[in-house]
Amino acid sequence: MPEFTLKIRRFLPESGEAPYWQDYTVDLEGHRSVLEGILTAKADQDGTIGIRCSCRAAICGSCGVRINGRAALACKTHLEEALEASESEDGEIVVEPMGNMPVIKDLIVDMDAVHWKKIQRVTPWLLPEGDPPEREYVVPHEAMVDVTQSMACIQCGACVSDCLSMEVDPDFIGPAALAKAYRFVGDPRDGQHSERLNDLAEDPAGIYDCTHCFNCIEACPKGVAPMNQIMRLRRAAGDDYEINDRNNGNRHERAFTSLIRDNGLLWEAELLPRSYGGDSFFGKFAPAAGLELVDSLPSITRAVLRRKVTPMGALKPHKIPKEDLAQVQQIYEKIESQDDRFELNLYIVGEEVEGDTEVAVETEGSSA
């Protein structure tokens, strides 16, 4: 039987000592899970190892940890797969607690302090308008398909653990909570769509605080793709409800996409004035753009001194060859010519089998 070495990050608060690493070697088949490896070490070698677990079937989300530096469910990760992905020089499987949350003991983090606090922030329940119907709410099939991906979340916290925006700004509402928010924004039974979106758009740590790092998509064990849900919240806020937030998020996105359409490349020197000027009377010479430019001068100065950018290079328009630009603009024309924005995340195909209906569900990324 093969041997696997688990390098577990230990933290015993009662000892008063700093966290440290400890190795455990277990004899298990390669198809066994990392969770089984940890529980075997706990049962046979060290009963003080702390880890949460329950179902062992990737349903409850309790056993979220970082394996080889990436968030994952310990019960869903096979030992042989973890060893293959390990970058340890000694061939160890490195297991540590999830990030962006306080550590209580060993691999156990305080979910209440961060994850659940942020879930509560988005009002995670329906807020219907008017009196309830006499019998039941009848929801269109397409509407429920639309929110099914968000509903698949098991609240494991993996996306929160690997969110780079939360590392920089701990106040960021976070991918799990914002994916939960879309579950209700996309539900026709909820009567507070505008209020929810306005709240999330106006919050400096809201939907425009996401930096599109894709870590939450890679970390999610259930294909919820939280970043996709955040982008859909942005589309709904900006396009459907025309919310121009105080964070300038919506205008910034429009400026970004218009520069790509016009030039084929992002022109940073034009991005700021176009974002803050927008469609105002002053255009890109709006006072807000000037104030923002003044605030940005220290960063610009450092970039020039470090030769990351030259004054002429920044001011000179950035454009790609005409033939390439024409292809970029064709993409814009094709998307903008569509009557409706297609964003369904799940495709459900029903096939009748001997009088019964067999339903197959395939997860896809949303097309914004």
Encode pLDDT of 29-78 as tens digits: 999 999 999 999 999 999 999 999 999 999 999 999 999 999 999 999 99
* Token pair listed for 352: 């009748």
Q: Which residue has the higher pLDDT, 141 or 76?
A: 76
Note the pLDDT tens digit of each residue in 103-124: 999 999 999 999 999 999 999 9
Q: Which residue has the higher pLDDT, 222 or 361?
A: 222
Distance CA 41, CA 344 (A): 44
Q: Which residue has the higher pLDDT, 297 or 178?
A: 178
Q: Which residue has the higher pLDDT, 201 or 291?
A: 201
pLDDT (mean) for 7-33: 96
pLDDT (mean) for 309-326: 86
pLDDT at 89 over 70: yes
Note the pLDDT tens digit of each residue in 281-311: 555 666 767 777 778 788 878 888 898 878 8
Q: What is the pLDDT of residue 25?
A: 98
The DSSP result for 258-281, as a single string, is: HHHHHHSS--HHHHHHHHHHTTST
pTM over 0.85: yes
Secondary structure letter of residue 41 according to DSSP: H
Q: What is the pLDDT of residue 144?
A: 85
* Token pair listed for 283: 């255009």
Q: What is the pLDDT of residue 273?
A: 83
Q: What is the pLDDT of residue 349?
A: 40
Q: What is the pLDDT of residue 260?
A: 94
pLDDT at 350 over 70: no
Q: What is the pLDDT of residue 280?
A: 53
Residue 344 confidence class, pLDDT cut points 50, 70, 90: low
Q: What is the pLDDT of residue 313?
A: 75
Least Cα distance to 325 among 238, 267, 277 occurs for: 267
Q: What is the pLDDT of residue 354?
A: 53
pLDDT at 357 over 70: no
pLDDT at 204 over 80: yes
* Token pair listed for 320: 């790609």
Note the pLDDT tens digit of each residue in 250-285: 999 999 999 999 999 988 888 888 888 765 555 566
Q: What is the pLDDT of residue 367?
A: 37
pLDDT at 361 over 70: no
Residue 312 confidence class, pLDDT cut points 50, 70, 90: confident
pLDDT (mean) for 137-161: 91
pLDDT at 351 over 80: no
pLDDT at 365 over 60: no
Q: What is the pLDDT of residue 318?
A: 82
Q: What is the pLDDT of residue 345?
A: 61
Residue 321 confidence class, pLDDT cut points 50, 70, 90: very high
Place of tokens 């197959």: 360
Q: What is the pLDDT of residue 352?
A: 44
* Token pair listed for 176: 């799990």
Could you tell me which residues come within 8 angstroms of residue 78 by beta carbon, excluding any fewer than 6 positions away?
30, 31, 32, 33, 34
Cβ burial 244-280 (10 Å sphere, 16+ → b, else e): ebebbbbbbbbbeeebbebbbeebebbebbbbbbbee
Q: Which residue has the higher pLDDT, 181 or 358?
A: 181
Could you tell me which residues come within 8 angstroms of residue 208 by beta carbon, excluding any fewer than 6 positions away?
201, 234, 245, 247, 249, 250, 252
Contact 57, 29 (CB under 8 A): no
